[in-house]
Amino acid sequence: MRFTENFIQEVVDRTDIEELIGRYTELKRSGSNLMGRCPFHSEKTPSFSVSPTKKMFFCFGCHAGGSAITFVQKAENLDFPDAVEYLATRAGIPLPKESEAAVPNAGPSRRRVMEMNLEAAKYFRSCLFDPQIGAAGMRYFHEERGLSIATVKHFGLGFAPDGFGGLTNHMRRLGYTEDELIAACLCGRSQKTGRAYDYFRNRVMFPIIDPAGNIVAFGGRVLDDSKPKYLNSSDTAAFKKSKHLFALNFAKNGCAEKMILCEGYMDVIALHAAGFEYAVATLGTAITADHARVFSKYTKKVIISYDSDEAGQNAANKAMRMLGEVGIDVRVLKLNGAKDPDEFIRKFGADRFRQTLEQSRTGFDHKAEQVYARYDLSIGADKIKASNEICTLIASYWSAVEREVYLAQASARLELPLAVLKNSVEQLRGKQARAYAAKQSRDAVATVKNFGDRINPDAAKDPRAASAEETVIGLLLLMDEHREAVAKGSVALSEEDFVTPFNRRVFAAVMRLHEQRGSVPYELLGMEFSPDEIGRIERAEVMRRQLSQNGADVFGSAVETLKDAKKKEALQTGNLSDRLAYLREKNAKLHKGKAEKHED
């Protein structure tokens, strides 16, 4: 879908960026701007700034930035046209009638993928309710798992028959191409025959629905001994498994007080059927930082209910850390007599689960009990090992109040003086602080040298030139007169003067918008740059805005440095006479500078 520049500008103008972003993170007034904790990375100290007047946001921590469109792209995992449509619909702006345009080799759009998923879900559902085709699936849901027909319909559950082309043929009859179906992860292509085949076969099907009610993907559980037991859609234009939670479309309506995090689809469905409609699960993957930030949008407390085996407990430990980093109060549920919530409810009922839920333990209590269970505290050597692990655990907590409370508990349990344990914790925290400072120093050096730069990887080849490019880009964005000087030719600067392809693209886009509009709206830059690239572009302007010297002399000096670097690059492959001429020119400039300084 394509939109005119004027339509995009209208969408941004009519979007209240403060209200939009305020739904994702708490914002507080700080002068003319607003500050909050960044919704795109974990942080304890707010570094995320929103400017209502400029209609822009920028994070000084992870350098995410841009317009309302960029924010929605990152927050909702949308491409640029879908983010524009999302904001237009939100603002009540009618979409242009002639807005769709085919983009060669771009693959199906997010909306097209969701349309295919809806038709696939209808197909899977019809198969499940067909007595001849779906008997095995219905037997699994109804008899083995005890789900009512109402629950099956509520979650839109289905069945994928054990055949290679049932869904593929059905979707082709509806007008979808094989390439589209492959891109939507509904079918694959045989390497031997080249024929398309159904991706999900002989599996009960779980549609994955986003908070807006769109079917974005599927999960399928096998009904025989085939591997893998669970098969999930790969990432598509409509879906990223690291950002979606199963049943969040239902849980979001009643999760302000707390949410339950489970491992599997059936755990969540069993909990919802029993009245605990604030349960969700990750999608066949361990919890990610993106998942944690999704949780932080909807609730302040998460109770983890993972399987009781070793793998489940290790996953719970990771989830505790991830969720704690975004400020969520984390609890852990211990289920005695069952391996997971589904089995527990079927054995003991909803009331017993509710009582157990009220007895959930803090993350520290859960981890500490794991440590104590590994050692015999009546043996001196074991007590030393346990105390070292407990002190390391306590040292990891950022809050001094929490550390004091946990130290008191540990002192009583280990029968060791509080002062001794506290001293060990402070020593560990000092060691952690030194290690963190060393890492920050290493990261800073790497940043200066541009190592690991995913946005502009060529910057590492010539850090000095890349720095000059950033200065030039920042000044062009910051001040109209610099762009006008380039446009009129009073400052000789062109795309060929840039060393890195990324900054060359930015320069070309900035000057084109200046020629067309006399300004450089970030929402229009977003038409040709990714959200991460927009953040990098805005960083260049933000960094210059924080400096007091941004006049013509600074701009001219940066341009000269850039041209010099470009000339040096060209001469590396030139002949000897060209190189000698370059060195004589550099030497003359050096002597001229010294002479001028002497006269002063």
Distance of alpha carbon 10 from alpha carbon 224, whole angstroms: 55
What does the buried/exposed string (b/e) look like for 200-234 if buried means 16 or more CB atoms within 10 Å of the residue's CB?
bbbbbbbbbbbbeebbbbbbbbbbeeeeeeebbbe
pLDDT of the residue at 100 = 44
Q: Are the beta carbons of 58 and 538 closer than 8 angstroms?
A: yes
How remote is the C-alpha of 324 from its chain's centroid?
A: 17
Q: Do domains 5-91 and 110-239 have the same CATH topology?
A: no
Could you please state the CATH topology (level 3) that the domain comprising 248-359 is classified under. Answer: Dna Topoisomerase Vi A Subunit; Chain: A, domain 2 (3.40.1360)
Burial class of residue 561, CB neighbours in 10 A (0-12, 13-18, 19+): middle
CATH number of 457-599: 1.10.860
Is CATH 3.30.1490.20 correct for 110-239? no
How remote is the C-alpha of 195 from its chain's centroid?
A: 35
pLDDT tens, position by position, for the chain (600 residues)?
578 888 898 999 999 999 999 989 989 988 878 999 999 888 778 999 999 888 999 999 999 999 999 999 998 888 899 899 999 999 999 988 654 444 445 578 888 999 999 999 999 999 999 999 999 999 999 999 999 999 999 999 999 999 889 999 999 999 999 999 999 999 998 888 889 999 999 999 999 998 888 999 999 999 988 888 999 999 888 888 888 999 999 998 888 889 999 988 999 999 999 999 999 999 877 888 888 888 887 888 999 998 877 777 788 888 888 888 777 889 999 888 998 899 999 999 999 999 999 888 888 888 888 899 889 999 999 999 999 999 998 988 877 888 899 999 999 999 999 999 999 999 988 887 777 566 555 544 444 444 557 888 888 788 888 889 999 999 999 888 899 899 989 999 999 889 899 999 999 999 999 888 888 989 999 988 999 999 999 999 988 888 877 888 889 888 988 888 767 765 555 544 544 555 555 555 555 554 554 555
Tokens of 517: 């509009």
pLDDT of the residue at 104 = 45
Residue 160 φ then ψ, to 5°: -100, 115
Tokens of 135: 């008997």
Could you please state the CATH topology (level 3) that the domain comprising 5-91 is classified under. Answer: DNA Primase; Chain A (3.90.580)
Distance of alpha carbon 192 from alpha carbon 190, whole angstroms: 5
pLDDT of the residue at 583 = 52
pLDDT of the residue at 586 = 54
Residue 115's CB is within 10 A of a number of other CB atoms, namely 19
Domain boundaries, the chain: 5-91, 110-239, 248-359, 367-446, 457-599
Q: Which pTM was predicted?
A: 0.65
Return all residues near 154 (Cβ < 8 A) that are at least 6 apart: 272
Tell which residue, 317, 318, 279, 315, has the closest CA to residue 299. 279
pLDDT of the residue at 283 = 86
Distance of alpha carbon 520 from alpha carbon 478, whole angstroms: 10
Distance of alpha carbon 409 from alpha carbon 406, whole angstroms: 5
pLDDT of the residue at 576 = 47
pLDDT of the residue at 99 = 41
pLDDT of the residue at 444 = 47
Return all residues near 35 (Cβ < 8 A) that are at least 6 apart: 27, 28, 46, 47, 48, 49, 50
Tokens of 314: 């290790």
